[in-house]
Amino acid sequence: MNSGIYLFCLTPASPLPEIAGTGIDGNHPLFIEIIGEVAGVLSEIDLDDFTGPASQEKMEDLAWVAPRALRHEEVIIAVMDQGPVLPVRFGTVFSSLAAVAEPLRRRQDVLRRFFQDTDGRQEWTLKGYVNLPQARARMAAERLTAEKEQLAELSPGKRYFLEQKIKGAVDKATTSWIKGIGEEIGKLAKEMSVGFSECRIQSREVTGRDEEMFFHGALLVPDGYVEALEGITDEWNTCHEVQGLQIEISGPWPPYHFTPAL
């Protein structure tokens, strides 16, 4: 075996978390290496699984990747439950312990500041969804009502032409309206958190929902504020559900969107 080191996450060296079990290969045990004021949660792996000609095929095989990615996340969550954690992306491997330690020793100040900033705070995800057919129908009805008197005075042919013109403008107006709602939610998200990071909008194929996602952000939330966050979310949904809008929060997650570049 071409032995290497797999890095799951980093955490303050004091107090050390309790870890148990094996790494992503289900064979080599987890262990902790202290590097300055930081502890790395690690395991040995076969480097050939992640480097070299055979690795690409494995990384494209969902049956191979899925259980290993799940174990990666399980280890990070277990550490997060005990204190601050800096999660590392799946598939972060090194040739040796020395190779792990070298860049971390140079960034002790950055790591110290990160753990101070995230202590007692966790990442929550805020997503916004819109029922587009409902939103378009509501806006079209409002436009047609506003033009009701003018439409009534037109001949059938001219009335049909104007109705189609109004409906054609609805798509553009709906897009502009949704953008404005997204900006409002963004301001609300920043008020509800001590840190905010904009995330990529996901397609319906990814979300598995009929509604379109129009907002996606990560919030860094103090532990004691989660209940208030849930209350604000419920209140917002009550006020906006008639418009085909909904926001939802999920978490807590490891602070992936707030980690510093190492």
CA dihedral 129, 131, 135, 136 (to 10 degrees): 120
Question: Side-chain half-sphere of 88: how many Cα atoms within 13 Å?
Answer: 19
Q: At CA 104, angle to CA 100 and CA 110, rounded to 5?
A: 155
Cis? peptide before 53, omega within 30° of 0:
no
| Crossing angle of the two packed helices 108-118 and 97-106, in degrees rounded to 10 | 80
3-class DSSP state for residue 141?
helix
CA dihedral 226, 121, 78, 256 (to 10 degrees): 110
pTM: 0.81
pLDDT digits (tens, 9 = 90+) for 27-78: 999 999 999 999 999 999 988 888 877 788 888 888 988 999 999 999 999 9
pLDDT digits (tens, 9 = 90+) for 143-185: 666 565 555 555 665 655 655 666 667 778 888 899 999 999 9
Tokens of 30: 């987890």
Single-letter code of the amino acid located at 242: V
Tokens of 119: 């202590």
State CA 151 to chain mean position distance: 47
DSSP per position, 28-97: SBEEEEEETTEEEEEEEEEGGGTSSHHHHHHHT-HHHHHHHHHHHHHHHHHHHTTS--EE--TT-EESSH
Which one is predicted more confidently, 194 or 148? 194
- Cβ-count burial 151-176 (b if 16+ within 10 Å, e if not): beeeeeeeeeeebeebeeebeebbee
pLDDT digits (tens, 9 = 90+) for 214-249: 999 999 999 888 899 999 999 999 999 989 999 999
CA distances for 90 relative to 8, 20, 112, 158, 262, angstroms: 7, 19, 23, 61, 15
